C-alpha cells in the first residue's frame, strides 16, 4: 500500500486517481500510524513552503516522513513535496533566515532570478510542459515531456543527487534521487503517459 500524505496542501485526488488507474493500492492519510505501515510514501504539494512545513509539523507528519524515509522504503516528493525534502527555502524567508525543510536531501530552494522574464520573455511561475534532460534517475527517461507549475526550484548540495534537469531561462534540477528517496518538481500525475510510467516504476519499488 502507498500512503499519500495529506497535510492540507496537496494535489491529493489527482495523485490517488493516477495510482488507482495503474491498479496500485493507495490511501490518502494524515495519520502517522498509517504512514508507518505503508510500503511506499508520496508527499505531494501545491502552495507555499513555509505554511506547508507548519502544517506538517503541527500534525507530527514531519517526523513520520523522516522516520519512514529512514526505513529504506521508497519515498516520492512531488512539486512542493520535492522542495520540502531539502534543507531550506528562500520562499517566505528573511534574508538571513531561510525556512527549514525536512532535510532528507542536502540542498536549498531558490526563486527564479528576477531578470529571467526581462532577458528571456518567460513568465514566472513556469506553467506548462517541458522536456527532461541529463537524466540519471531510475524512474525517468531522457526527453520525457512533463508538466510544471512553480516559481522556485531546487539546488542540491551534491550534483549527483540531481536525477534530471530542464531548461527555462536557465538549466536547473527538476528531479532528485538519493537512495530510496525520489522527487520531481513536475507533476507526474498530470504528465500523461510519461508521468504514469514514472508512478508505475515508483510503485514497483514498493513491491520489492
Per-residue model confidence (pLDDT) at position 111: 92
Half-sphere exposure of 24 (CA within 13 A, CB side): 31
Active site residues: 79, 187, 189
pLDDT value for 89: 94
Looking at the structure of the chain, the number of domains it has is: 1
What does the pLDDT profile of the chain (208 residues) look like in tens digits? Answer: 999 999 998 789 999 999 999 999 999 999 999 999 999 999 999 989 999 999 999 999 999 999 999 999 999 999 999 999 999 999 877 666 789 999 999 999 999 987 776 567 788 899 999 999 999 999 999 999 999 999 999 999 999 999 999 999 899 999 999 999 999 999 999 999 999 999 999 999 987 6
Q: 122 is in which domain, residue-wise?
A: 2-205
Beta strand 145-150 with 126-131 is antiparallel
Which CATH number characterizes residue 174's domain? 3.40.50.880
- Residue whose C-alpha is closest to residue 138's, from 86, 208, 81: 208
Amino acid at each position: 500500500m502507498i500512503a499519500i500524505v495529506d497535510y492540507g496542501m496537496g494535489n491529493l485526488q489527482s495523485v490517488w486517481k493516477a495510482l488507482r488507474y495503474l491498479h496500485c493500492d493507495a490511501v490518502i492519510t494524515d495519520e502517522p500510524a498509517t504512514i508507518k505501515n505503508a510500503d511506499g510514501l508520496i508527499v505531494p504539494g501545491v502552495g507555499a513552503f513555509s505554511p506547508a512545513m507548519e502544517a506538517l509539523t503541527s500534525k507530527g507528519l514531519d517526523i513520520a516522513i523522516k522516520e519512514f524515509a529512514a526505513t529504506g522504503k521508497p519515498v516520492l516528493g512531488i512539486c512542493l513535496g520535492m522542495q520540502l525534502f531539502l534543507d531550506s527555502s528562500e520562499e517566505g524567508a528573511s534574508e538571513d533566515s531561510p525556512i527549514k525543510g525536512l532535510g532528507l536531501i542536502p540542498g536549498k530552494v531558490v526563486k527564479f532570478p528576477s531578470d529571467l522574464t526581462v532577458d528571456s520573455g518567460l513568465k514566472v511561475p513556469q506553467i506548462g510542459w517541458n522536456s527532461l534532460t541529463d537524466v540519471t534517475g531510475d524512474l525517468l527517461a531522457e526527453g520525457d515531456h512533463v508538466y510544471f507549475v512553480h516559481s522556485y526550484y531546487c539546488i542540491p548540495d551534491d550534483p549527483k543527487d540531481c536525477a534530471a534537469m530542464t531548461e527555462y531561462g536557465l538549466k536547473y534540477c527538476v528531479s532528485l534521487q538519493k537512495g530510496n528517496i525520489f522527487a520531481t518538481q513536475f507533476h507526474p500525475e498530470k504528465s500523461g503517459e510519461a508521468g504514469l510510467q514514472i508512478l508505475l516504476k515508483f510503485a514497483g519499488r514498493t513491491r520489492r
